[in-house]
Structure 1
Amino acid sequence: MEKKGCIKCGRRETGTKDVAMTGTGLSKMFDIQHNTFTVVFCKNCGYSEFYNKRSSNASNIIDLFFGG
């Protein structure tokens, strides 16, 4: 079975961070950050993907990053 890695560099070392962002309209004007995401990034090259925290299952995020 072939091991998958980062789509940019092929390495398998990842990190994750949770981030919050504003939307548009009034939420942007009042800096209300109601959009939350988990960012998965390659520790080698920095390639990153954002996953919506509300719709992503935490246990599957790394698999999604590697194309699984």
Structure 2
Amino acid sequence: MNYTCPKCANTTYELDQIQATGGLFTKLFNIQNKKFTSVTCKKCTYTEFFKTKSSAISNIFDFFTN
């Protein structure tokens, strides 16, 4: 991935993923149906989030493991 930080122009970064709930139903049953990838600059720690697709099987797994 070619990434350049928009704040400091650094090219080293760290990738991570987070999951979040959406509406009332998903909050009640603690189902993380929204998935994001974050890109964090290693120099200034500026972070951007990009929405990624969450699979149905991972949502079902979340439901039964919570």
Q: Which residue of 1 aligns with 2:29?
A: 30
Runs of 4+ in structure 1 off by over 2 angstroms are: none
Shift of residue 35, structure 1, vs aligned partner: 0.7
TM-score by length of 1: 0.64
Partner secondary structure for residue 26 of structure 1: helix
Aligned partners of 1:37 and 1:46: how far apart in 2? 17
Which structure 1 segments of 5+ residues have no match? 55-68
Q: How does 1:44-63 map to 2 (within 5 A)?
A: 44-54=43-53
Write the distance in 2 (CA, Å) between the matches of 1:29 and 1:14: 35
Question: C-alpha separation between the residues in 1 aligned to 2:4 and 2:18?
Answer: 23
| Equivalences, count | 51
Identity of aligned residues (%): 35
Matched position secondary structure for 1:33? coil
Whose helix fraction is larger, Structure 1's or Structure 2's?
2
> Unmatched 5+ residue regions in structure 2?
54-66
CA-atom RMSD in angstroms: 1.5
Larger radius of gyration: 2
